[in-house]
Structure 1
């Protein structure tokens, strides 16, 4: 088995079906075999019951609706079940087989399979809003040896001082979500198909257009008072140089994105010597380089790695001694994708008070590609540098062409001098980012262009600190959004496991004020935690 500095304490891959790396779900869209909507509905941002009735499309009433069916929808349903909402009062519209499917796919293709550690805190648990017992405590009590019991507890007690941050394996997260989904009756809420659009209803509430899956697809309109959008990433982001290369050469075999299937890169490099350029400085880039170095150590691959970084970091950096990141030899190091104070500390409080350009500046100060500092992986990188098989350089790609020998000719601009340089390689793996534009997602594009949803300074949906899309409030109806589509709003780590839970709790609080559910106060919280520990439904 390959050396895995991204795993800790576990040597086997989880065997449950829920921890498989799955094929990607169908792209956002909709089955054209279902009859199209009439023009008077397509062009109107506000629909009346009479207009919908005239269209002949069946209407289904449900008080609460969440669109997406991923981890954000799962967190929302879990919180509402804990708050006392029965399953027949909620519906999940999704084209996913289970909530972790898209996440498992993205982490799998970016070289973080189920037996690898993800970048998440031990208490950031999608299946447990209380965060206790944490993943580390679970691991300890499932161990059959004294050392296996002590190691995870010692790790979380001394993390980032004597040990690396303790983070769970991806498979542990998926297994926990499966058990919680069974407990709260999540599957009873699910409708499989594709949501196309959300429109305001005259008099309050919303209509959501949906196409069911199956041999006989049917158009359905859901009428609800509350809608929650958790559609994940609008799309995978392909940078202009990659789009240009593929448009000219019609092939993505050698110039690939980290978040699309690219196993052929590793297979070819094991079979024959080659050079690969890895672009990016985040967790995906570090996992890909880790895989390439493992293939050298375990399978004898003669691979040379050139690591291209837009921002080459070689020391602590930041605006002041109180706001600094570690950095060394090109990498910017941070335990998690945001500073810990952004989850529930001073940075969170500051961000919620800022508006406009001031908020953008704080976002930009906290943002940026980083990767955790893990001692085992650092030793592996150091050895690769000594062997001359890994080189990190600062630069930005100007153009990628196909050379006469079918390799790639990469022209990049050196950061230090601005001088154009040419580099020959067999492959380029782009791991610079994941979030695409809202316009690339059909439902979000329609929400902005037709329904009139406002955007924030980063081009995402403009939401309140409570994750409400304020521009689409409709009478007593409320429309909420969570996850990557709210980037640039009042909560920086909105696209993290803990951030999705935080958004769900904030939405639950507002729905409790509106009388839709119970408030999760101290008494209910303790009682529901006890039920969860006994495996009893809410």
Structure 2
């Protein structure tokens, strides 16, 4: 075979995003572009850079030898694993799993001739008017006028004249602080501004829903976390309480003590003080979190701050501020001008596997194939009535929750089975220095201290001090937010495997179709068994959310208009205080928060802790810039503001 081409497929260990390069043999793998051995010098060698401390400078080589594809360990420190077994030299065939450091790759040989290649995940956009997932929307909505010329032609300039805005005849309002998004990231930033002395009249939060947790709550409910269920989030962070004390655990324990529920009260405290050695990590109930945020919403005057609007574009003004063009409804347009702007737009889209998207488009079947973040209660209602088989794709936090929900449905109907389709085995978890994440039944488990270390530990300091290449390497070594190490759902998977109603299958999907009985048929290429067919009544895609800039028309327009740099994950490049340096406009400053900043100075950016930390350092930046009304908190003022919080009084000035 001449110049064979192979495809390597893996999920980025830092983010879970899919990578599927097609390369010609030979291929050299390494942490750096090290000098090749003499026998390869002068040849056309493809080089695959893997940014991880677990990967040696020149780690491995894939080459073609005697009509066979062979991988050779080049004297690496951590070795090369093929299908979970350490090898110094091994023949590779279609579907083999190749592990180099934390990178778990599936190898497909001669993809041009024999293999159907799957494109990267597509997305389901959030409807801009309803803020709910809408599979009928295109991937990216162009930023063009709707009927009238809005945004106006002046928005094509680098700097928009404030006078030109008024000349349009449309409403122009001004404020000191503008939060774009109005979700949890915006709420936490606004909350800290209020605590730091800024009057509510000086702040505007622009978004589509008045409740700052509305989208998060809906995604929780859709992914089968009801209000009485505990979130998969650590208890050290309280979006309604920047001080973190009393925590949700203490509040829940006090509530039970007042109701004479001594056992449960002490159980919560034991979980907090004994975690994780003797007890399971405490996490709060969803309803408690939302109720606590409602209390803080009233305390800081959020209803006065919030304003409904869909943001269409953001521009610098000619007087050192920022202008936001937004719509307040069909044909109802306006502008907001602000000196300080905060971007926390959250996840603009849901990842949806392309073969499942193709199925829905072909058969117009939106009931049998669903995304875990869409409303899909009908799946479990039918299972409870009639039984059936569910095929799950993805193996993260949401997948574990879907398995738990099906386990609950089996209490109503035992004729329910689960097929969990994974691309490849997961023999071991991410490793950094002497620590390594554990793996159970091919789920990589998130250590209990992951968000804590991000918050105040050495990992946060290490990441802040690192350059972009080092950050990429560190995040790849650490791994991202994964399934929590919780014994309750682990017992469910163990029980399901032993009883036979839960089965794990490995393979690459070739396509999905519908049979004559209206069941879904998934064609997979399974290692050692050739092509197989998996029949199911429902398919649930639990592969996650998409926060790349290109998935958001607003952010994509901003990046292209000002030629903003993106990091290796396609997210915004931010300073250590989460400011966008390239968007500095005189005294005007723009900050960002959440998943759109992943790859920057903080790891768990989309957690409660991550949103709180980004708000803290951003407001510190505003205080350093002498922004109007912002006072840096000290021991005395912070204690005074905490007392106001305890007494449920409006933030003191």
TM-score normalised by structure 1 residue count? 0.90
Paired position in structure 2 for 1:382: 494
Cα deviation code 1:300-348 (max 9, x no counterpart): 241110112235334x533356231111112111245946422321221
Paired position in structure 1 for 2:576: 465
Match of 1:351, SS state, is helix
Q: Taking structure 1 as reference, are residues 38 and 510 closer, same or farther at Cα in structure 2, changes over 3 Å only? A: closer
Paired position in structure 2 for 1:256: 370
Paired position in structure 1 for 2:341: 227
Structure 2 portions without partners, runs of 5+: 1-129, 135-139
Paired position in structure 2 for 1:432: 543
**Are the aligned partners of 1:31 and 1:211 in contact in 2 as well (CA < 8 Å)?**
no
**Are the aligned partners of 1:155 and 1:165 in contact in 2 as well (CA < 8 Å)?**
yes
Q: Taking structure 1 as reference, are residues 80 and 380 closer, same or farther at Cα in structure 2, changes over 3 Å only? A: same
Paired position in structure 1 for 2:265: 149
Q: Taking structure 1 as reference, are residues 355 and 36 closer, same or farther at Cα in structure 2, changes over 3 Å only? A: same
Greater mean deviation of Cα atoms: 519-528 or 171-180: 519-528
Alignment pair present for 1:455 and 2:566: yes
Q: Taking structure 1 as reference, are residues 420 and 468 closer, same or farther at Cα in structure 2, changes over 3 Å only? A: farther
CA displacement at 1:404 relative to structure 2:
2.5
Paired position in structure 2 for 1:186: 302
Q: Taking structure 1 as reference, are residues 400 and 253 closer, same or farther at Cα in structure 2, changes over 3 Å only? A: same
Paired position in structure 2 for 1:203: 319
Structure 1 portions without partners, runs of 5+: 1-22
Distance in 1 (CA, whole Å) between partners of 2:133 and 2:168 is 27
Among candidates 232, 242, 247, match of residue 356 of structure 2: 242
Paired position in structure 1 for 2:200: 87
**Are the aligned partners of 2:355 and 2:512 in contact in 1 as well (CA < 8 Å)?**
yes
Match of 1:458, SS state, is coil
Alignment pair present for 1:341 and 2:453: yes
Distance in 1 (CA, whole Å) between partners of 2:432 and 2:565 is 34
Distance in 2 (CA, whole Å) between partners of 1:440 and 1:106 is 18
**Are the aligned partners of 1:205 and 1:223 in contact in 2 as well (CA < 8 Å)?**
yes
Q: Taking structure 1 as reference, are residues 418 and 83 closer, same or farther at Cα in structure 2, changes over 3 Å only? A: farther
Q: Taking structure 1 as reference, are residues 39 and 67 closer, same or farther at Cα in structure 2, changes over 3 Å only? A: closer
Q: Taking structure 1 as reference, are residues 225 and 26 closer, same or farther at Cα in structure 2, changes over 3 Å only? A: farther
Paired position in structure 1 for 2:112: none
**Are the aligned partners of 2:430 and 2:478 in contact in 1 as well (CA < 8 Å)?**
no
Distance in 2 (CA, whole Å) between partners of 1:343 and 1:273 is 45
Q: Relative contact order, CA 8 A, sep 6+: which one is greater?
A: 1
After the TM superposition, which residues 360-371 of structure 1 pair with which residues of structure 2 at under 5 Å, given as runs?
360-368=472-480, 370-371=482-483
CA displacement at 1:496 relative to structure 2:
0.6
Paired position in structure 1 for 2:239: 126
Structure with the higher helix share, 1 or 2? 1
Structure with the higher strand share, 1 or 2? 2
Q: Taking structure 1 as reference, are residues 186 and 62 closer, same or farther at Cα in structure 2, changes over 3 Å only? A: same
CA displacement at 1:264 relative to structure 2:
1.8
CA displacement at 1:386 relative to structure 2:
1.9
Paired position in structure 1 for 2:86: none
**Are the aligned partners of 2:151 and 2:312 in contact in 1 as well (CA < 8 Å)?**
no
CA displacement at 1:417 relative to structure 2:
4.5
Cα deviation code 1:486-528 (max 9, x no counterpart): 1111111111111111111111101111112100122211111
Paired position in structure 2 for 1:218: 332
CA displacement at 1:353 relative to structure 2:
1.8
Distance in 2 (CA, whole Å) between partners of 1:452 and 1:207 is 18
Greater mean deviation of Cα atoms: 301-310 or 120-129: 301-310
CA displacement at 1:209 relative to structure 2:
0.9
Paired position in structure 1 for 2:509: 397
Match of 2:198, SS state, is coil
Greater mean deviation of Cα atoms: 404-413 or 75-84: 404-413
CA displacement at 1:428 relative to structure 2:
1.1
Larger radius of gyration: 2
